[in-house]
Amino acid sequence: MSNYHIKHLEEYYQVYRKSIREPENFWEEIAEEHFMWRKKWDKVLSWDFSKPEVKWFEGAQLNITENCIDRHLATRGDKTAILFEPNNPDEEAEHITYSQLHQRVCKFANVLKSQGVKKGDRVCIYLPMIPELAISVLACARIGAIHSVVFAGFSSSALATRINDSDCKMVITSDGSYRGSKTIDLKGIVDDALEDCQGVNSVLVAKRIHSEIEMKAGRDHWLQPLLDDASDVCKAEIMNAEDPLFILYTSGSTGKPKGMVHTTAGYMVYTAYTFKNVFQYREKDVYWCTADIGWITGHSYIVYGPLCNGATSVMFEGVPSYPDFGRFWEIVEKHKVNQFYTAPTAIRALAKEGVDHLEKHDLTSLKVLGTVGEPINEEAWHWYDDNVGKKKSPIVDTWWQTETGGIMISPIPFVTPTKPTYATLPFIGIQPALMDENGQEIKGNQVDGRLCVKFPWPSMARTIWGNHQRYKDTYFSAFENKYFTGDGALRDEVGYYRITGRVDDVIIVSGHNLGTAPIEDAINEHPAVAESAIVGFPHDIKGNALYGYVTLKETGESRDQNNLRKEINQLITEQIGPIAKLDKIQFTAGLPKTRSGKIMRRILRKIACKDTSNLGDTSTLLNPEIVQGIMDEAL
Ligand code: WT7
């Protein structure tokens, strides 16, 4: 029996039981046999959720890039590590072998050093999905710099907030990006952001769209000439197991985005192990995850997990709809993709276009289909299963979070029988718990509650950058001695989990995690706006869309409402990005509030969802009379 690669259900249960009964022995064995260490650990695990403090493989030394690249050179030097598929189908795909990746990462790492970047420094990466993105991530890891990738769809002000929060001294970007038929001026966005970022002293610029851009003397450098001059030898910095590997921002219900900190050894072991099993990756397979490396899915399952396993990982620059909705299937056929991992929102958008595009392409290479990011509805699940997988490729509905680093609940394909809309069983080593509102664990099956995790796993985030108290308050305070996920879930009669969605004020729109607070802050900046509240409501393709209730100041009441709507969405686009734009904006005379002044979103949510037959308890409202008016004027 190999604990590293699970092939039967019986084996899953055996390995699972072992991972729960003897977690330290279990993870020690996995770590020992499948990774390259400069020094082994003194202690596998120490933890205390009340602080909270979690350490895995303490005392060990390693560099994750030696695991992702160097150790494959002897056996897989000429194998494609990254297969880059450009936005434009007429441009040629690029196969970057493990040897070439090694050279390019080393060169890039030397450029970082020559610009004064040192171990522990933070580097912000704001790039489109081009090879330089994966390479710069690995180059940071090579020298022990902490990367903070910001999704290149965020606005300049969102970028500035993230750069400043973690004190980045460098930004890596490009002259621009291609997205379908559009080009985006990324460098211009960086320039705007940097007006508010005093700590950044160097900007590296990759050439992608060959546009005329301004380069600020002394600060901005074209990347290519620096790479040309750099040596391709760069010794890997030796890192401690618990040294931070990266920061990745995610939205919270309140306040500014949270910089989740992931550390080195545990993250590596868990992402590699989950990748191998959840996708049943075999040596000759071509694996494609359609996410952007700006999100955790891309970090763990385009870069680190696949490369640690010596896999071929496709990196796609474009969008599913360009030049038409057949693009994904064309890529599957062209590169003979074996594992395909995408989001429910993409599946719904593709399903809406019908099956004509699918029928034009040979999809017989596909073996495993994955989904992630939000609950997948039954219709989308069946469409995916019937038309993409032809009922032969199991669907792995993988539940996890930026904070968890790796996949937590998921079927193992060909091992776990799937069930539509169910993420099914906890992955090896994961101990979920469902909790009731009184803080008690709900045992048994056929129950639902708030989803927590009772025991540490190797890839959990260790803190929020610069704010450990917030880490504790957000994740370890709702339920004693447990990590609280913010999601609700139910457990069926055989112990399968179905994630029912967020139970807090985070709304998932097109698979993007959006906090209500930053959006409301953006709206409230409008001079005519007094107050606002955002809720989610169901949307065919996006899963959820945003509904904003806005009250105006007296000065705003005479304004044209359609213009106001446009201005509000413009503000949101500037402050956060177009992904956070509102689908509906209702102007109201007031917002329902509790006596303590808290907006009662529950009621607003029901109105937005047109579910007003029972509004629930409204007795604690300070201003119950306002509700009828909001209902009468609902959009
Ligand atoms: C939230 C985390 C993890 C990568 C992408 C999102 C929701 C994620 C599923 C799923 C139902 C899911 C949860 C979770 N979510 N995967 N398979 N089924 N819901 O990472 O941006 O940190 O969002 O996404 O609500 O808490 P993220």
Q: What pLDDT shows up at residue 619?
A: 76
According to DSSP, residue 388 is labeled I
Closest ligand 1 atom to residue 486 Cα is 26
3-state per-residue secondary structure call for 517-574: HHHHHHHHCCCCEEEEEEEEEEECCCEEEEEEEEEECHHHCCCCHHHHHHHHHHHHHH
CA distance 160 to 157: 5
473 C-alpha to center of ligand 1: Å?
20
Residue 463 parent element (H or E): strand 463-464
Residue 400 Cβ < 6 Å to ligand 1:
yes
Half-sphere exposure for 510 (CA within 13 Å, toward CB): 10
Q: What pLDDT shows up at residue 3?
A: 85
3-state per-residue secondary structure call for 238-273: CEECCCEEEEEEECCCCCCCEEEEEECHHHHHHHHH
Q: Are 396 and 409 in contact (CB under 8 A)?
A: no
| Alpha-carbon dihedral angle through residues 597, 602, 605, 606, given to the nearest 10 degrees | -130
Residue 117 Cβ < 6 Å to ligand 1:
no
218 C-alpha to center of ligand 1: Å?
41
Which residue of 247, 374, 430 sits with most ligand 1 atoms within 8 Å of its CB, as the best mutation to test the pocket?
374
373 C-alpha to center of ligand 1: Å?
4
Q: What pLDDT shows up at residue 95?
A: 98
Closest ligand 1 atom to residue 511 Cα is 6
Phi/psi at 432 (5° precision): -75, 160
Q: What pLDDT shows up at residue 416?
A: 98
In 317-429, where do the E strands start and end?
339-342, 368-371, 395-397
CA distance 197 to 49: 35
Domain architecture of the chain: domains with CATH: 9-145+234-464 (3.40.50.12780), 511-633 (3.30.300.30)
Of 269, 312, 288, which is closest to residue 64 (Cα–Cα)? 269
297 C-alpha to center of ligand 1: Å?
10
| Residue 37: Cβ-neighbour burial (10 angstroms; 0-12, 13-18, 19+) | middle
Closest ligand 1 atom to residue 398 Cα is 17
Q: Are 323 and 312 in contact (CB under 8 A)?
A: no
CA distance 339 to 258: 31
Q: Whose CA is nearest to atom 5 of ligand 1?
A: 373
CA distance 438 to 444: 17
Q: Count other C-beta atoms under 10 Å from residue 476's C-beta.
A: 18
Q: What pLDDT shows up at residue 146?
A: 99
Q: Are 476 and 456 in contact (CB under 8 A)?
A: no
Closest ligand 1 atom to residue 512 Cα is 21
Residue 375 Cβ < 6 Å to ligand 1:
yes
Q: Whose CA is nearest to atom 17 of ligand 1?
A: 399
The residue type of 482 is: K
The pair of structure tokens assigned to 190 is 């960086």
3-state per-residue secondary structure call for 63-123: CHHHHHCHHHHHHHCCCEEEEEECCCCCCCCEEEEHHHHHHHHHHHHHHHHHCCCCCCCEE
Per-position b or e across 418-445, b if 16+ CB within 10 A of its CB: bbbbbbbbbbbbbbbbbbeeeeeeeeee
User: Which region, left, alpha or beta, applies to residue 439 given φ > 0 means left and ψ of -120 to 50 means alpha?
Assistant: left
136 C-alpha to center of ligand 1: Å?
26
Helix residue ranges, H only, 461-529: 468-475, 516-524
CA 495, distance to chain mean position in Å, is 26
The pair of structure tokens assigned to 303 is 């870069």
Residue 398 Cβ < 6 Å to ligand 1:
yes
| Alpha-carbon dihedral angle through residues 26, 28, 33, 38, given to the nearest 10 degrees | 170
Residue 297 Cβ < 6 Å to ligand 1:
yes
CA 453, distance to chain mean position in Å, is 19
CA distance 532 to 183: 33
Distinct helix (H) and strand (E) counts, the chain: 21, 30
For the chain of 635 residues, list the mean pLDDT of each consecutive stretch of 10.
86 97 98 97 98 98 98 98 98 98 98 98 98 99 98 96 98 98 97 98 98 97 98 98 98 85 98 98 98 98 98 98 97 98 96 95 98 94 98 98 98 98 98 96 96 98 98 97 97 97 91 90 93 94 96 88 96 95 96 83 92 82 88 89
Residue 405 Cβ < 6 Å to ligand 1:
no
Closest ligand 1 atom to residue 399 Cα is 17
Residue 513 Cβ < 6 Å to ligand 1:
yes
The pair of structure tokens assigned to 575 is 């402050």
The pair of structure tokens assigned to 267 is 């993250």
Radius of gyration for the alpha carbons in the chain, expressed in angstroms and rounded: 24
Q: Give, in degrees to the nearest 5, the angle at Cα 348 between 504 and 313.
A: 90
CA distance 113 to 607: 55
Place of tokens 């994961």: 430
Of 310, 291, 545, which is closest to residue 402 (Cα–Cα)? 291
Per-position b or e across 286-315, b if 16+ CB within 10 A of its CB: bbbbbbbbbbbbbbbbbbbbbbbbbbbbbb
| Alpha-carbon dihedral angle through residues 280, 282, 286, 290, given to the nearest 10 degrees | 20
The pair of structure tokens assigned to 388 is 């993409």
Of 343, 341, 420, which is closest to residue 382 (Cα–Cα)? 420
219 C-alpha to center of ligand 1: Å?
38
399 C-alpha to center of ligand 1: Å?
6
Of 110, 382, 112, 396, which is closest to residue 235 (Cα–Cα)? 110
| Alpha-carbon dihedral angle through residues 569, 575, 579, 584, given to the nearest 10 degrees | -30
Residue 147 parent element (H or E): strand 146-149
pTM (2 decimals)? 0.94
Which residue of 396, 499, 503 sits with most ligand 1 atoms within 8 Å of its CB, as the best mutation to test the pocket?
499
Residue 623 Cβ < 6 Å to ligand 1:
no
Q: Whose CA is nearest to atom 14 of ligand 1?
A: 401
60 C-alpha to center of ligand 1: Å?
31
Phi/psi at 226 (5° precision): -65, -40
Residue 397 Cβ < 6 Å to ligand 1:
yes
CA distance 400 to 311: 22
Residue 500 Cβ < 6 Å to ligand 1:
no
Which residue of 278, 341, 400 sits with most ligand 1 atoms within 8 Å of its CB, as the best mutation to test the pocket?
400
Residue 373 Cβ < 6 Å to ligand 1:
yes
Residue 274 Cβ < 6 Å to ligand 1:
no
506 C-alpha to center of ligand 1: Å?
11
374 C-alpha to center of ligand 1: Å?
5
Which residue of 150, 250, 274, 372 sits with most ligand 1 atoms within 8 Å of its CB, as the best mutation to test the pocket?
372
Residues in contact with 350: Cβ distance below 8 Å, sequence separation at least 6, in sequence order:
320, 325, 328, 357
Q: Are 567 and 525 in contact (CB under 8 A)?
A: no
The residue type of 61 is: Q
Place of tokens 């606005």: 155
Q: What pLDDT shows up at residue 2?
A: 67
